Chains A and B, each alone.
Chain A
Amino acid sequence: MDLSTMIIKMSDGFGKTCAIFFLTLLFSLPLGMIVALLRRSRFKPVSTITRFFISVLRGTPLMLQLIAVTYGPYYISVAANKLSEVYNWGVYFDIGVSKNKLVPVVIAFAINYASYFAEIYRSGLESMPVGQYEAAQVLGYSKIQTFMKIILPQVIRRILPSVTNEIVTLVKDTSMAFTVSYQEMFTIGKQIANSQTSFIPFVVAGVFYYIFNAIISFIMEKIEKSMSYYTI
């Protein structure tokens, strides 16, 4: 197989790589904010439970989470059906491994990244001086206005470098989808490498990721610049 064929074949998977990437960002960025706010809740049970979930999601491998979300429901249904048979519950769960693996892959990525983003948001929220809240309160801003107009824009500015870091990692992490044989670029590259006993597909994959990330970094730098019209 010549190089151009390899590149064309791997480009097929690139669309799926992009799908994981963009869908994960689309869901995890807002979800992370919700998680961060729950984590900061003054209602102890809520903050404790949220903290526990974050610690599990950050404390176990993403690979494991991918496998759990993709195959977990199937294995649980098998176990449930066995129990149902033994105890005569008269129920039968028909849950297979979903055909479109994009769904479980994006779910796993989104909740994993949301917990990282949540901690980044939290660091940003906690770095805000209390005077900003007080000034807004005295001026009569509502809680929502204060958050949307005063706090959030400043928090975004503060956390942007950490978010960029996380996004760059996500580009590379998409390759993890190979563990559940989702046909994204790296999975295809690996298959070609195996069948052709060639190292070249890995080099191609490396170049793909590098270019992708170079573009991301360029865009994020532009965004950072556009927000740096004031100093904190």
Chain B
Amino acid sequence: MSVLEIKNVKKSFGRHHVLKDISITVNEGEVVSIIGPSGSGKSTLLRCATLLETMDEGTLTYVGKPAAWMEGSEIKYAKNLNEIRNKFGLVFQNYNLFPHFSVIKNLTDAPVSVQKRDKESVYEECKILLRKMGLSDKEDAYPCMLSGGQQQRVSIARALAMKPDILFFDEPTSALDPELTGEVLKVIKQLADEKMTMVIVTHEMSFAKAVSDRVIFMDNGVIVEQGTPEEVFGNATNERTKQFLSNYNK
């Protein structure tokens, strides 16, 4: 079964059409990268999928559960959206950790107070997650004491603590220097190897090439081209894709 199904999504801000009829299906264990120039609608698509933005038209389904659908020309959203939010996690470009919570509290609070899971087992699981992120000594630290790369790894752990079926990344390394970028990408790569379903919006072309099962190139609110990394990076058929990638292949 597909984990995420987006169909015919349209979204405008005023008279500016940001998304023009976008459809994407993501299967279990698949890693999909979305690349494209700034302003192409990648982030808006992610924000629509994560319910931070409402779509004008389209359907959105998570693991067979409809989150949004069309009734005639009207879009309808599911009543219990939190049930849908349980299915996905989102890693923000600027982390958005809660600065007044310690690292471990950042991870455990939502599973305990939102998902109402057992406190002790959540703590145990979160400690394991932190170890996996290479942050076992940072449990009691506060986000302000961490480097950008560490903060981003905490935010990945925070998303994973909710046990999502799919994880979204919105330019997870854009705020980081190359060295810190490396440590975050390593963690994402590790997740990919574990067959975590992920959708990654990124400007890191070589990373997208290395980690993805499928690469989607978006421009001007439409999907211009998609395929395996080899197809898109090595063998792009569309002029616009070639032009965009030529800046990276130099």
**Would you call B96 and A231 a contact (CB within 8 A)?**
no
Residues 86-98 of chain B, each 1 if its beta carbon lies under 8 Å from chain A, else 0: 1011101010111
Distance of A10 Cα from B23 Cα, bound (Å)? 78
Interface stretch (choices B107-115, B125-133, B186-194, B218-226): B107-115
Q: How far is the CB of A55 from chain B (nearest CB, A)?
A: 32
| Chain B CB within 8 A of A89 CB | no
**Residues in chain B near residue A126, CB distance under 8 A:** none
**Would you call B94 and A134 a contact (CB within 8 A)?**
no
Chain B at the A interface: mostly helix, strand, loop or mixed? loop
| Chain B CB within 8 A of A190 CB | no
Contact of A138 among B89, B142, B144 (CB under 8 A): B89
Distance of A153 Cα from B114 Cα, bound (Å)? 18
Residues 63-83 of chain B, each 1 if its beta carbon lies under 8 Å from chain A, else 0: 000000000000000000010
- Which of A141, A150, A154, A230 has the most B CB atoms < 10 Å from its CB? A230
Q: How far is the CB of A85 from chain B (nearest CB, A)?
A: 60
Chain A at the B interface: mostly helix, strand, loop or mixed? helix
Chain B, Cβ-Cβ closest to A154 = B100
**Residues in chain A near residue B52, CB distance under 8 A:** 134, 137-138
Q: How many residues of A contact B (CB 8 A)?
A: 21
**Residues in chain B near residue A149, CB distance under 8 A:** 109, 113
**Would you call A138 and B90 a contact (CB within 8 A)?**
yes
| Chain B CB within 8 A of A41 CB | no
**Would you call B89 and A230 a contact (CB within 8 A)?**
no
**Would you call B114 and A140 a contact (CB within 8 A)?**
yes
Q: Which of B160-208 contact A (CB under 8 A)?
A: 162
Known: A140-B86, A153-B100, A154-B99. A230 touches B143 (CB 8 A): yes
Q: How many residues of B contact A (CB 8 A)?
A: 26
| Chain A CB within 8 A of B40 CB | no
**Residues in chain B near residue A232, CB distance under 8 A:** 99
Contact of B85 among A138, A154, A157, A231 (CB under 8 A): A138
**Residues in chain A near residue B85, CB distance under 8 A:** 137-140
| Chain A CB within 8 A of B54 CB | no
Known: A139-B162, A145-B114. A229 touches B142 (CB 8 A): yes
Known: A229-B142, A230-B144. A139 touches B99 (CB 8 A): no
**Residues in chain B near residue A138, CB distance under 8 A:** 50-52, 85, 88-90
Residues 130-156 of chain B, each 1 if its beta carbon lies under 8 Å from chain A, else 0: 000000000000111000000000000
- Which of A129, A138, A231 has the most B CB atoms < 10 Å from its CB? A138
Chain A, Cβ-Cβ closest to B111 = A139
Q: How far is the CB of B217 from chain A (nearest CB, A)?
A: 26
Q: Which of A132-163 contact B (CB under 8 A)?
A: 132, 134-135, 137-142, 145, 149-150, 153-154, 157
New contact pairs (17) apart from A138-B85, A138-B88, A139-B110, CB-CB < 8 Å: A129-B96, A131-B96, A132-B96, A132-B98, A137-B52, A140-B86, A140-B114, A140-B115, A141-B113, A141-B114, A142-B82, A145-B113, A145-B114, A154-B99, A229-B142, A231-B99, A232-B99
Interface residues of B (CB under 8 A from A): 50-52, 82, 85-86, 88-90, 92, 94, 96-100, 109-110, 113-115, 142-144, 158, 162
13 A-B contacts (beta carbon < 8 Å): A134-B92, A135-B96, A138-B51, A138-B52, A138-B85, A138-B90, A142-B82, A145-B114, A149-B109, A150-B98, A153-B100, A229-B142, A230-B143
